[in-house]
Amino acid sequence: MPTILHPPAGFIEQFNAQALLIYTGKTRLARGLLQSVLRRWAAQLPEILDTTDGLLRNANAARAAIEAGADLGRVARSPPAVGSPPPAVASLVPPPAGDWTALGAAVSTYWEQKKRMAGPGCEPAPVTTLLRCLAPFAVGCALAGAGGGGFLLVLARTPADADAIREAKAAARSANDRASDDCLAWTVHTATVDMEGLRIGQLPSAW
């Protein structure tokens, strides 16, 4: 059964405001990377075995970061029992909307773990440059899938940092129209949490 997460109030809104998907401009060719992962797993390399254990620990760390403050939020929203003393001042402080910094650290750790699983080649030089440029604005980054290119998930430090990333891209594009340039080939896209999930339906017969 899938694990259902229970983020505190405000976390989804924070994610929607500060998460970005950046297309790196590098087409992801996953076939060779996946073959490398399978070969390294079949060889039972100690590095791979340790990393698979680490993936589970890091997933639990990400869950804890997302759910941080959820219990406090439930307590703060619960009405006091009849005849009970008034709540302490501390309980009136809004609960934190998860631990964004810890979640970013878990996302970056996840990328480092995937690089160890796939071996050399999963992070092209232009992606490394892009990650270095984003570091001042982000708490965590990870390439989707096996790496090699494709889309990069970025968790911006603040909504203002998310805007700064978009503006930096726009400024670079207006200053230089060479779309083939590695520094200009990436594009910024908004990422939001899907609150409905996959829906399956039947098209009208006219289709």
Assess if residue 2 is contained within a domain: no
CATH number of the structural domain spanning residue 95: 3.30.70.890
pLDDT value, residue 2: 77
Assess if residue 136 is contained within a domain: yes
In whole angstroms, give the CA distance from residue 54 to residue 76: 34
Domain that holds residue 66: 16-83+90-190
- Whether the per-residue pLDDT at 55 is higher than 70: the answer is yes
Assess if residue 180 is contained within a domain: yes
Number of separate domains in the chain = 1
In whole angstroms, give the CA distance from residue 199 to residue 192: 17
Reduced 3-state DSSP string for 15-28: HHHHEEEEECCCCC
Cα 170 to Cα 38, 159, 176, 185, distances in angstroms: 40, 17, 10, 12
pLDDT value, residue 170: 63
In whole angstroms, give the CA distance from residue 42 to residue 186: 35
pLDDT value, residue 47: 87
Tell which residue, 68, 51, 54, has the closest CA to residue 102: 68
Assess if residue 3 is contained within a domain: no
By the 10 Å C-beta count (0-12 exposed, 13-18 middle, 19+ buried), 33 is classed as buried
User: What DSSP line would sit under 143-163, residue for residue?
Assistant: ESTT-SSSEEEEEESSHHHHH
- Whether the per-residue pLDDT at 138 is higher than 70: the answer is yes
> Would you call 38 helix, strand, or coil by DSSP?
helix
Assess if residue 196 is contained within a domain: no
In whole angstroms, give the CA distance from residue 207 to residue 200: 16
pTM above 0.85, yes or no: no
Q: What percent of the chain has pLDDT over 90?
A: 38
Please write the tens of the pLDDT for every residue from 107-128: 999 999 998 888 777 888 888 9
- Whether the per-residue pLDDT at 164 is higher than 80: the answer is yes
pLDDT value, residue 66: 94
Tell which residue, 130, 169, 174, 173, has the closest CA to residue 153: 130
In whole angstroms, give the CA distance from residue 191 to residue 188: 10
Assess if residue 49 is contained within a domain: yes
Tell which residue, 188, 145, 190, has the closest CA to residue 25: 188
Assess if residue 31 is contained within a domain: yes
Assess if residue 5 is contained within a domain: no
Please write the tens of the pLDDT for every residue from 22-49: 998 877 666 677 787 888 888 888 888 8
User: What DSSP line would sit under 55-113, residue for residue?
Assistant: HHHHHHHHHHHHHTTHHHHHHHHSPPPTTPPPPPGGGGSPPP---HHHHHHHHHHHHHH
pLDDT band of 204, cuts 50, 70, 90: confident
